[in-house]
Amino acid sequence: MASGVKPRVKVPKTAAAGEAVVIKTLISHEMESGQRKDKEGKVIPRSIINRFTCDFNGQNVIDVTLEPAISTNPYFQFEATVPETGEFVFTWHDDDGSVYEDKQSITVG
Binding site for other proteins (CB under 8 A): 4, 6, 8, 10, 20-21, 24, 26-28, 33, 35, 55-56, 59-83
CB of 5 to other proteins, least distance (A): 10
CB of 85 to other proteins, least distance (A): 14
CB of 14 to other proteins, least distance (A): 16
Q: In whole angstroms, how far apart are CA 87 and each of 14, 27, 56, 82, 83? A: 11, 19, 6, 10, 11
Instruction: Return d(Cα 40, Cα 57) in angstroms, integer.
Output: 49
Cα–chain center distance at 2: 15
CB of 34 to other proteins, least distance (A): 8
> Closer to other proteins at the Cβ: 79 or 101?
79
Q: 104, 12 in Cβ contact below 8 A?
A: no
Instruction: Return d(Cα 29, Cα 11) in angstroms, integer.
Output: 21
> Closer to other proteins at the Cβ: 71 or 96?
71
